[in-house]
Structure 1
Amino acid sequence: MPMIRQQLLLPLLAVGCALLSACGGRVAEEDPAPLTGANQLVLVVTPDWNATTGTLRSYERLADGGWREVDRAADVTVGRNGTAWGRGLHPQQPGTMKQEGDGRAPAGAFAIGIAFGYPGQLRTALDYRPMQASHWCIDVPASPHYNRIVDSRDVGDDAVTGSTEPMRRDLHANGDQRYKLGFVIEHNADAQPGGGSCIFAHLWDAPEVPTAGCTAMGEGRMRELLDWLDPQLRPVFVLLPAREHARLREAWDLPVPAP
């Protein structure tokens, strides 16, 4: 190869290798931090993977990129069998993955979806959907409506057959108030069959009663969250056991909870 051509090509080859993973032909890509662009954060930390309780804190992004805690810390309950990795904004992690019916709350980082509840109107910037007796969240993996809230008046009664998630639990489950107020945690948003469905933040039955996989809290704290959350600020919900929070804090740009 002529010397001039060789001198011109060597820098180009170096650039090419920098763009490829060890010059192996695959472009090197880093998973973006799941909180990139988020200006509101709801953070739940549990003692360990098997814990059924945790502490919820909320944060807003500062101009310098840091986080400031707002409102008050609150006790929450999570899955009756603890937690397992969910499918959300975060890259896949080593460990047990959440499955339909496992009684575990999904760990990870998730977008926050619509708000829902029993009242006809609610003060919140989230897209609020008042629930009727005809609304169900479909937890049947084979259903084309899996992991979606549907209205049987639109999809037909056959489409909700077999689902165990009426959204008006007060009307279908002896006055149950747990879904009186809540919002959707966007776990398994692309509805992979069996990956877990109908994951919400909602009211608890009692402080000592765990959930089937959701995060539950008292009504006062829920109302504070619904009044504060703003979809224009791209809020993110993060749930992690304490050791995973410590491991991922820097990579995910997570705040350190106050003692």
Structure 2
Amino acid sequence: MKIVLLLFMSILPLAAWQLPPQCKQLVVGTAKSWNSSYVSVMLYEKKGKDWKALTQPVTGRLGKNGLAWGRGIHPDASKPHLKREGDGRSPAGVFQIGQAFGSHKSIKKKRSLAYTQVTTRDLWVEDSSSPYYNRHLRIDHEPNSAWEKKAQMRQNDYPHSLKLYIGHNTASAQQKAKPNAGSSIFFHIWRNAGKSPTAGCTTIPESQLRQLISKIDPRKTPLYILLPQAEYSKFRTEWKLP
């Protein structure tokens, strides 16, 4: 039944789709256009039938080339852009929010949110030819090959010292991540006080990222919706967005 439902959802037109009813937390990111690398981010929580803002809007950065439709829980779309590995675009759509990662011993978070303190042996695979593409992998030895070193999550790079996974093109027990469709998409600390765009992630100031992570509750099925403002306005009523 679950497989049939997923197939049915995948062929629904964008305008006919709605957020899953179990979603009670929603991170909303809107950009001015498909080619903008700036984003406004807010966290909402559903109270009864209404969405209530839990945070003030914060300006962040996206991929240097803007946005492209990603692979999430929303119906498939490809125009005007479809996310590809290395295209410098952030994935647009609706995505599950996963666990947090970081180099810090501990962080302020809900008990239900998993947190992994990364070591030198923690990898995130961006090689689309690998069976581990777009997956977290902890190896049993110190990285020694060029492939392993390139995939290391811990790079002594402070903007990546705290991150929250965005479920774009996620591998699961049922299916592999689609090759070349984009990988390693996270919320993380912005670079150069917001002066630098990203390769595809969403970045915000550290204080706001810590605040966001502290409020994310997996029991409320949190999702991240990222769209250009025009598309957000277009789908707001049909998708039952804040």
TM-score (norm 1): 0.80
Select the residue among 182, 189, 193 that pairs with 1:196: 182
3-state SS, counterpart of residue 244 of structure 1:
helix
By relative contact order (CA 8 Å, sep 6+), the higher-ranking structure is 2
Does residue 148 of structure 1 match 2:131?
A: no
Residue deviations 1:147-167, cap 9 Å, x none? 011123279756x71674431
Q: How does 1:23-102 map to 2 (within 5 A)?
A: 30=12, 32-63=17-48, 65-95=49-79, 96-102=81-87
Partner of 1:221: 208
Query: In structure 2, what is the Cα distance between the partners aligned to 1:188 and 1:219?
Result: 25
Partner of 2:164: 183
Assess if the C-alpha contact under 8 Å between 1:109 and 1:237 holds in 2.
yes
Residue deviations 1:189-239, cap 9 Å, x none? 131111100000000112120000000010100110111000001000110
Assess if the C-alpha contact under 8 Å between 2:143 and 2:149 holds in 1.
no
Residue deviations 1:135-193, cap 9 Å, x none? 121100000110011123279756x71674431121xxxxx201111110000013111
Assess if the C-alpha contact under 8 Å between 1:55 and 1:73 holds in 2.
yes
Q: Which runs of 4+ in 1 moved over 3 A?
A: 29-32, 154-158, 162-165
Assess if the C-alpha contact under 8 Å between 1:187 and 1:197 holds in 2.
yes
Query: In structure 1, what is the Cα distance between the partners aligned to 2:195 and 2:143?
Result: 37
Assess if the C-alpha contact under 8 Å between 2:17 and 2:238 holds in 1.
no
Partner of 2:4: none
Query: Aligned residues: percent identity?
Result: 34
The amino acid across from 2:40 in the alignment is T
The amino acid across from 2:207 in the alignment is G
The amino acid across from 2:162 in the alignment is L
- Residues 147/79 of structure 1: CA separation in 2 closer, same or farther (3 Å cut): same
Select the residue among 123, 145, 150 that pairs with 1:136: 123
The amino acid across from 1:133 in the alignment is T
Does residue 115 of structure 1 match 2:100?
A: yes
Q: Which runs of 5+ in 2 are unaligned?
A: 1-7, 172-176
Residue deviations 1:10-37, cap 9 Å, x none? xxxxxxxxxxxxxxxx9xx856523432
Query: In structure 1, what is the Cα distance between the partners aligned to 2:132 and 2:144?
Result: 13
- Residues 48/180 of structure 1: CA separation in 2 closer, same or farther (3 Å cut): same
The amino acid across from 1:183 in the alignment is L
Does residue 106 of structure 1 match 2:87?
A: no
3-state SS, counterpart of residue 108 of structure 1:
strand
